[in-house]
Chains A and B, each alone.
Chain A
Amino acid sequence: MIDNSKNLYSEIEVTVETAKELGLTENEYKMLCKNIGRTPTYTELGVYSVMWSEHCSYKNSIKLLKTLPRSGGRLLVEAGEENAGLVDIGNGYAICFKIESHNHPSAIEPFQGAATGVGGILRDIFTMGARPIAALNSLRFGELDNPRTKFLLNGVVEGISHYGNCFGVPTVGGEIYFDKCYHDNPLVNAMAVGIVKTDKTASAASKGKGNPVMIIGSSTGRDGIHGASLLASREFDEQTENMRPTVQVGDPFAEKLLLEATLELIEAGVIVGIQDMGAAGISCSTSEMSGRTGHGMIVNLDKVPLREKTMSAYEIMLSESQERMLAVIEKGKEQIAIDICHKWDVPCTEIGEVTDDGLLHIFRNNQKVVELNAEDLVLGGGAPQYDRESKEPEYLKETRNFNLEEIRIQKPMEGDFWEILKSPTIASKRWIFEQYDSQVRTNTVTIKGDAAIVRLKEIPGKAIALTTDCNSKYTYLDPYKGGMIAVAEAARNVVCTGAVPVAITNCLNFGNPYDPEVYWQFKEAIRGMGDACRALDTPVTGGNVSFHNESQKHAVYPTPTIGMLGIIDDLNLTMSMNFKSEEDEIFLIGNNREELGGSEYVKHYAEKVSGLAPEINMDEEMRLQKTILALIQSKTINSAHDISEGGLAICLAEKAISSDNLGCMIQIDDINVGKLFGESQSRVVVSCSPAKFGELVNTCSANNVPVQKIGDVQKEIFEIENYIKTDINSIKIKYNNAIADIMKEK
């Protein structure tokens, strides 16, 4: 029963059944009733249901996330404390970055789903006071020859292009994989990166009794209601299509104006705290901002600018309308704030004030509809935290016993090279990235290498390197090693451009956490990532967990996407992958273990993702990365490219393709499939002039890293002795046109 002494208004009478319809469990309902000591109003129940949803509360992941290294080094805030991570890069500046998923919305409305994914992550960056300077995205779809995949890819790429291009942030990198495990449930992970002066950052904490609370930006409509709780926190089934109205609609122009207004408000010193509104809208921003400091808020929903006047308190509290911010303004500075917003034609309205009683008091039509303790609602406060049951998956018995030895020692067929080269996961992503503005803001040094290089105008001569990475075939075969490899390879990618890896953000895409086998994958992947991050001293700055990525048939491969930040102190000491001179010799640095488990070759040849994931030894990896950085900084080598999907053969092809009419002549003793297409980790192919050979060998042996000459650079021809000889143009045409050709097929 509702406690009448509080005079709370409920649109309908709430029961445990109502709670279940909104995605809460019976136990959670009992817990919240105990919290408040009475039956909640309908609006209160709505607020609880979104705040305690998987998406907002991290209830099934937070305990494990806390085992990751989340502080220290250059980190200015601990992971999870603010809207995005903040890394000190020296000279009085910090880089703010984060990656987030928008998988479920993109699966049912690819254009808006992907667009608002980009919009949401950009807001996380500028709400911290940072100006977005780069965006990346990590995408996964089913096999591309399927019409539905084409529809999704088209929509997602257009959505990202539409939002990012108009907003004015360069999309500089990312990755795209195609595998049938993502057919029903594509993954769309968007990452954004910003720069901010360390003394000009904004916080998402509310404080100061009596300070006015303002809503800044777009008006509130009926879009996105229950996006977080019902859509993002369940699997796909026949009902999912009907949930299209839970997908938000983005307006990048509104966001661009909101960006400029927000940065100017922060610069002007009128902001006490500010948080963007994404998942769970006003519910989330009011409770999180208050919960962080034990404050409360009085909010009058009648003052919120609405798209439809008849919206109920419940709808207003749960709306996920885009391009909105909640800001606590320093009392007395309201007019300055209003003037700045007016300058940018951004609506801003005072909707309430800060209290010191820790309670959210929400009113609609002169009736009180919510009186809840803010801290009870939020992660780190009263939100539930669960340990889930975990169990090693059955399928591993089969994949571990899959014998690859026979395939490994085979003499490779030339046709395999061409098939793998033009498979959509390997082939050029030009069809996609040419739809993204990669250069706006004139900081993009290159998008062509293992990682993108973005110079910082604020600190002349300095740059950052950015990449996203995860090979989910490895995580499927061994989530522990796969998690480690994702971090190690992301670091190796930035190292190959000459950058020192400093921190990561992660986006953990998994199936249903209530499935013990899925939970085991999750647990193991986190253990792997944690070990790798500790070894490389690249702490986790934050990120996002996306569970329930599965259809009725199966879950996606466990996909812990890593976004890596590297720092380049001297822009004169960067490295690229292309061959530079036909005088140069080619070397393989690292151990060639001829491992085929989880490789593109086995997927192509046996149509299976099977075997053992490649070995990864963090000590070996660190020695390799140290070697490569030393070789770049001493200008010993002229090119570097790490070996990943497709093995040595594809690595060499990619080097030739990115070169200006330079190929290679490679000799490999006792050539076999394992040597050419194996995906052993911790390997990099470099080229250097014969004069530098001694230096190269010395640096490698000083770090106890094996190095062997495998061939020479040569003009026009791509040749691996006793295997393939072709001209570079043929390779370029196949590689560059593969995806466009498939997209053209009906």
Chain B
Amino acid sequence: MKFGVVVFPGSNCDHDAFSAVSLNAGYSAQYLWHKDSQIPSDIDAIILPGGFSYGDYLRCGAIARFSPIMKEVVNFADRGGYVIGICNGFQILTESGLLPGVLLRNNSMKFICKDVFLKVENNTSAFTNKLIKGDILRIPVAHGEGNYFAEDDIIQELEDNNRVIFRYASPEGNVDDSTNLNGSINNIAGIINKNGNVLGMMPHPERYSDEILGCNDGINIFHSLANYLK
């Protein structure tokens, strides 16, 4: 199992994702440079890490989608390759059309960094097969624009097809307005694409992949994918 971690100018969770999948989860990993126009053939899955690609100027992820590597990431995904976009990575996925919808500014209009509780809504996906449906994961968020929005018909399609993977919930698993930290429709924290090979999520599983940091609820997302691709 080999992960490719894309480095855009302004990525700042690239090292974290790299060490989570390699040091903590025990898989191979390799950085992919934003100016590259080729993805090595031995890469099994690609991570678009968090950060502020190109300074997030103009709009989060809006410039990154035009980088040479993204053209290849889109091809990779179209061929069925597995892609995880975390935080800024999720924003880049929506900007590049690999996932529907858009991430608006948090309804508090402030950056939020804190632990949140995620309810696992679908454990049949490539990214969640090592989890239990209804499980509550403690994983941190750190974003200013994580408020998921899409047209009603898209939301309907996501819900009808079990494509909402994670929702913001209480530690007990209640999903309601009081647990919706940024205004996302239906408390959506993570979704997959139609073919199930692209995951976008605002919370940072790579941050809680090491017991020494107090929690490793995030690591099973990487293990799930490795298990699926075995």
Q: Which residues of A contact B (CB under 8 A)?
A: 158, 161, 165-168, 251-254, 256-257, 344-345, 433-446, 455, 457, 571
B113 touches A253 (CB 8 A): no
Contact of A439 among B19, B51, B54, B113 (CB under 8 A): B113
Contact B212–A253 (Cβ < 8 Å): no
Q: Are A257 and B142 in contact (CB under 8 A)?
A: no
Report the minimum CB–CB distance from B36 to chain A (whole Å). 12
Given that A166-B10, A434-B113, A439-B142 are contacting pairs, would A445 and B213 also be in contact in the complex, using a CB cutoff of 8 Å? yes
A75 CB to nearest chain B CB (Å): 29
A167-B12, A434-B113 given; A442·B55 CB < 8 A: no
Binary contact track B180-199/A, C-beta < 8 Å → 1, others 0: 00000000000000000000
The answer to whether the Cβ of B146 comes within 8 Å of any Cβ in the partner chain is no
Q: Is the CB of B54 within 8 A of A440?
A: no
Q: Report the stretch among B125-133, B161-169, B202-210 that lies at the interface.
A: B202-210
* Distance of A166 Cα from B213 Cα, bound (Å): 22
Question: Could you tell me if A165 and B9 are in contact, using CB atoms closer than 8 angstroms?
Answer: no
Given A435-B111, A446-B214, 6 further pairs, Cβ under 8 A = A165-B142, A439-B113, A439-B213, A442-B20, A455-B212, A457-B19
Give the residue name and chain of the A residue nearest to B144 (CB). A165
A441-B112 contact in complex given A252-B52, A345-B9, A455-B212, C-beta closer than 8 Å: no
Name 14 interchain pairs, CB-CB below 8 A, sorted by A: A165-B113, A166-B10, A256-B9, A257-B9, A434-B113, A435-B111, A436-B111, A439-B140, A439-B142, A439-B204, A440-B16, A442-B20, A442-B207, A455-B212
* Contacts A253-B52, A253-B55; A440 near B13 (Cβ below 8 A): yes
CA distance A161 to B142 in the complex (A): 11
Given contacts A440-B16, A442-B20, A442-B207, whether A434 and B51 have CB atoms under 8 Å apart is no
Q: How many interface residues does B have (CB within 8 Å)?
A: 32
Q: Which B residues are CB-close (under 8 A) to A437?
A: 111, 113, 142
- Supposing A441-B15, A446-B214 touch, asked if A166 and B9 sit within 8 A by C-beta, the answer is no
Instruction: Identify which of residues 110-132 in chain B touch chain A, using a CB-to-CB cut-off of 8 Å.
Output: 110-114
Residues of B within 8 A of A445 (CB): 212-214
Given contacts A344-B9, A434-B113, A435-B111, contact A440 B212 (CB under 8 A): no
> Which of A253, A436, A441, A457 has a CB less than 8 Å from the CB of B54?
A253
The answer to whether B135 has its CB under 8 Å from any CB of chain A is no
Nearest B-chain residue to A436, judged by Cβ: B113
Residue in A166, A435, A439 whose CB lies within 8 Å of B207: A439
Asked if A442 meets B142 with Cβ closer than 8 Å, knowing A168-B12, A434-B114, the reply is no
**Residues of chain B at the chain A interface (Cβ within 8 Å):** 9-10, 12-13, 15-16, 19-20, 23, 50-52, 54-57, 110-114, 140, 142, 144, 204, 206-207, 209-210, 212-214
Q: Determine if B12 and A256 form an interchain contact, defined as CB atoms under 8 angstroms apart.
A: yes
Assembled-state Cα–Cα distance A435/B113 (Å): 6
Note all chain A residues with C-beta closer than 8 A to B57: 253
B114's closest neighbor in chain A, by CB?
A434
Contact B54 A442 (CB under 8 A): no
CA–CA, A345 and B55, complex, Å: 13
CB-CB under 8 A from B212, the residues of chain A are: 445, 455, 571
Q: Which of B12, B19, B23 has the most CB of A within 10 A?
A: B12
Whether the Cβ atoms of B210 and A442 lie closer than 8 Å is: yes
The chain B residue with its CB closest to the CB of A461 is B212
Identify the closest chain B residue to A444 (Cβ): B213
Q: Is the CB of A440 within 8 A of B10?
A: no
The verdict on A166 contacting B19 (CB below 8 Å), with A253-B57, A437-B113, A442-B207 known, is: no
B213 → chain A closest CB, angstroms: 6
Set A256, A442, A444: member contacting B206, Cβ < 8 A: A442
Residues of B within 8 A of A434 (CB): 112-114
